[in-house]
Amino acid sequence: MPLTDTQIKALKPTAKTRKYADEKGLYLEVAPSGGKWWRLKYRIGGKEKRLSLGVYPDVSLKAARTRRDEARELIANGVDPSAVRKAEEAERVADTVNTFEAVAREWFEKERVDSKWAPGHASKIIQRFEKDVFPWIGKLAVSKVKPMDVLACCQRIYDRGAADTAYRAKQTIGQVMRYAVGTGRAERSPTTDLRGVVKKPRPEHFPSITDPDEVAALMRAIDGFKGTLVVRSALRLAPLFFVRPGGVARRGMG
């Protein structure tokens, strides 16, 4: 006869573990300590096996029967429910270890060394991650990051008026995701679906000074600058070579 809730509640522990059958391989195991475990006995591949279905009363009689039926459906299709459970547990462990932040930091260290990034460039990238990316998607399993997760992350950056940073964040997130795909921890990069959505902002060109009076004022300001020798020299060279400040710095370094 199948078990009833009334019978289960009335079961008392004995000196030895006892088993109380329900139906279709499901039974309740009562330990001397008083614990009550649901078990399923089944055969697959010619071998008899056991599957734990939870602890009573956390798992009710009705819930235990539902779990039993789900397991029996797998068995009917030649799938071992114990193997499925182990695979699911392995995936949960992997998701806990392989968060987006963990994989991003791994990618960052690899690229920093392999690509010989300048300290300033490396600092900008990791600061962007720590400020604008990790707080929002860092704890997600890298395999579970969706396009909308990335878009929401970039939108927050864009909304504060940092369109270029939003675009660069999408680029670096994409690099991390491609690294995750390449190392077998994700199936695809969600940034692929965001092409044309997070757009590269148009560069802003600052107007040049062409008015003679304004040029004269600029030259007087440069001449009166009281900063370091290197900066004073760079400022005085700039009008002679007509290059950007970075160009002056590179020429000076050379």
pLDDT in tens, 132-162: 999 999 999 999 999 999 999 999 999 999 9
Residue 52, pLDDT score: 95
Considering the chain, what percentage of its residues have pLDDT values greater than 70? 92
Quick: pLDDT tens for 185-207. 999 999 999 988 887 777 665 56
Residue 64, pLDDT score: 97
Residue 247, pLDDT score: 57
Of 170, 172, 175, whose CA–CA distance to 158 is shortest?
170
List, in order, residues 6 or more apart from 222 with CB less than 8 Å away.
235, 236, 238, 239
CA 249 – CA 238 distance, rounded (Å): 10
Return mean pLDDT, the chain: 88
Residue 94 in this model has a pLDDT that exceeds 80: no
List, in order, residues 6 or more apart from 181 with CB less than 8 Å away.
187, 188, 189
Residue 219 in this model has a pLDDT that exceeds 60: yes
Residues 206-211 have a mean pLDDT of 69
- Asked if 221 and 206 count as a contact pair (C-beta separation under 8 A), the reply is no
List, in order, residues 6 or more apart from 48 with CB less than 8 Å away.
41, 42
Residue 199, pLDDT score: 79
Residues 6-11 have a mean pLDDT of 94
Of 92, 93, 104, 90, whose CA–CA distance to 180 is shortest?
104
Instruction: DSSP for 78-146, please give it.
Output: T--HHHHHHHHHHHHHHHHHSBHHHHHHHHHHHHHHHTT--HHHHHHHHHHIIIIIHHHHTTSBGGG--
Give the containing element (helix H, strand E) for 55: strand 47-56
- CB neighbour class for 71 (10 Å; exposed up to 12, middle 13-18, buried from 19): buried
Quick: pLDDT tens for 231-244. 777 777 777 766 66
Residue 253, pLDDT score: 43
Of 147, 243, 157, whose CA–CA distance to 201 is shortest?
157
Considering the chain, what percentage of its residues have pLDDT values greater than 90? 70
The answer to whether the predicted template modeling score (pTM) of the entire model surpasses 0.85 is: no
Of 159, 187, 192, whose CA–CA distance to 173 is shortest?
192
Hey, which residues does 48 pair with through a beta bridge?
43
- Asked if 111 and 118 count as a contact pair (C-beta separation under 8 A), the reply is no
Residue 250, pLDDT score: 53
Quick: pLDDT tens for 12-68. 999 999 999 999 999 999 999 999 999 999 999 889 999 999 999 999 999 999 999
